[in-house]
């Protein structure tokens, strides 16, 4: 029997007496887990290390908890709530965006998808072995269509994919873009060419799955992101609830808003404020399917038309991209949470919460800081810390 998988993290590393610290825990392969608060050796001088052992401390979190099933994706992405069945009854589907990959040859990466990775079904644009790939599948039928010319890191591409349910025709296009700050120069004439490829595979229907930007979906107790995250920058993704002819895919972004079957189009340049702060929701231009940022992707990023002169205040339309850098998971997305209210009597020093399930252990270290010294008030009304 395989050992359980445990992972935990705290929402902060240092906590003051009378404050709270929240631990979020994932447990797979066991029905429950046990937590215990430890005071670590080395807390009075040398660096504390959970592996050196510790002394158990009486605490309200010393207990056994039932495992709650949920999936966590560590990488940033965007989800589109309520989009699970948007292609039900549609004659076809078309996806498109501008993308710039940081690591095209990394493991399979989902760019723009309505794909259920647990079933291997749906529709989506992916990167596989450095190549732009269209995946479409339902039941035993599956199409995997790739462009032979691999994507180059640091270069912007306009990409688009389509599938026609009636004919079974799928098509995929990539068009290099040489403009944009930070874009590498396209040296090879071969790499400058627009590529389009097609294939046939009859699917009975389009499998229901939510639209994800920079990820694909998997179903546990609810829809969440799979570990197929795109590593790079995305600009102006869109979804059309109909097929598009293969010859019309190159340059489709400029005509996307004219499509009568346009389902959603996201503009990451909207919502920028003077201080660069923007909401976690990205509006859908059509007004139907706003996208929600998960794990704090980087906003206000220069897109394929960016330049070194203007900034997001003077030319927000040139900052319409979003970069998917590795971040820690949003704490609110973890369903198993334990909060420790640090009592005033808890001595300052290094601590850890030990998580146990069967023969597996995980330690989450943190520091309790010394209590604040009271402020003494002089007769003139000024304050001073005690000597």
Query: What CA–CA distance (Å, rounded) separates 386 from 366?
Result: 28
Give the 3-state secondary structure percentages of the chain, helix then strand then coil, rounded to 5: 5, 40, 50
Query: What CA–CA distance (Å, rounded) separates 61 from 338?
Result: 7
| Ramachandran angles phi, psi of 271, nearest 5° | 95, 0
Model confidence at 330, pLDDT cuts 50, 70, 90, reads low
Residue 315 tokens read as 């030319």
Query: What CA–CA distance (Å, rounded) separates 343 from 155?
Result: 54
DSSP state of 208: P
**Would the pTM count as exceeding 0.85?**
no
**Close Cβ partners of 371 (under 8 Å, ≥ 6 residues apart):** 16, 17, 344, 348
Residue 190, SS3? helix
**Close Cβ partners of 254 (under 8 Å, ≥ 6 residues apart):** none
What is the predicted pLDDT for the residue at 291? 93
Please give the share of the chain, as a percent, with pLDDT higher than 70. Answer: 79
pLDDT digits (tens, 9 = 90+) for 47-99: 455 555 688 999 999 999 887 655 556 688 999 999 999 999 999 999 999 99
Q: What is the mean pLDDT of residues 323-340?
A: 69
Residue 34 tokens read as 């046990």
Contact 215, 73 (CB under 8 A): yes
Q: What is the mean pLDDT of residues 8-34?
A: 84
Q: What is the mean pLDDT of residues 317-338?
A: 71
Query: What CA–CA distance (Å, rounded) separates 128 from 217?
Result: 17
């Amino acid at each position: 029997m395989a050992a359980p998988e445990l992972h935990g993290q705290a929402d902060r590393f240092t906590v003051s007496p009378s404050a709270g610290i929240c631990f979020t825990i994932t447990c797979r392969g066991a029905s429950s887990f046990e937590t215990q608060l430890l005071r670590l050796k080395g807390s009075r001088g040398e660096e504390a290390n959970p592996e050196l052992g510790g002394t158990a401390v009486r605490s309200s979190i010393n207990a056994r908890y039932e495992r709650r099933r949920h999936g966590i994706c560590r990488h940033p992405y965007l989800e589109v709530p309520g989009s699970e069945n948007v292609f039900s009854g549609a004659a076809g589907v078309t996806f498109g965006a501008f993308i710039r990959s940081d690591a095209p040859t990394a493991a399979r990466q989902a760019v723009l998808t309505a794909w259920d990775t647990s079933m291997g079904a749906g529709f989506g644009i992916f990167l596989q072995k450095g190549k732009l790939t269209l995946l479409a599948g339902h039941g035993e039928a599956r199409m995997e269509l790739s462009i032979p010319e691999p994507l180059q890191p640091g270069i912007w591409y306009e990409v688009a994919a389509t599938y026609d349910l009636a004919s079974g025709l799928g098509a995929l296009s990539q068009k290099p873009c040489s403009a944009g700050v930070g874009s590498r120069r396209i040296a090879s004439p071969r790499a400058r060419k627009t590529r389009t490829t097609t294939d046939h595979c009859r699917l009975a229907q389009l499998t229901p799955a939510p639209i994800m930007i920079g990820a694909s979906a998997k179903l546990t107790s609810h829809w969440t992101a799979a570990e197929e995250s795109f590593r790079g920058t995305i600009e102006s993704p869109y979804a059309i609830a109909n097929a598009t002819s293969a010859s019309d895919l190159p340059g489709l972004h400029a005509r996307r808003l004219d499509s009568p079957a346009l389902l959603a189009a996201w503009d990451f340049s909207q919502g920028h404020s003077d201080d660069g702060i923007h909401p976690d929701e990205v509006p859908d231009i059509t007004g139907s399917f706003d996208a929600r940022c998960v794990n704090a992707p980087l906003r206000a990023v220069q897109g394929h038309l960016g330049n070194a002169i203007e900034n997001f205040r003077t030319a927000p339309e040139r900052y319409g991209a979003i970069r998917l850098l590795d971040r820690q998971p949003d704490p609110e997305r973890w369903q198993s949470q334990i909060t420790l209210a640090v009592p005033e009597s808890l001595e300052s020093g290094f601590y850890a919460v030990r998580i146990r399930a069967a023969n597996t252990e995980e330690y989450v270290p943190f520091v309790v800081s010394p209590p604040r010294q009271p402020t003494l008030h002089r007769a003139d009304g000024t304050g001073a810390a005690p000597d």
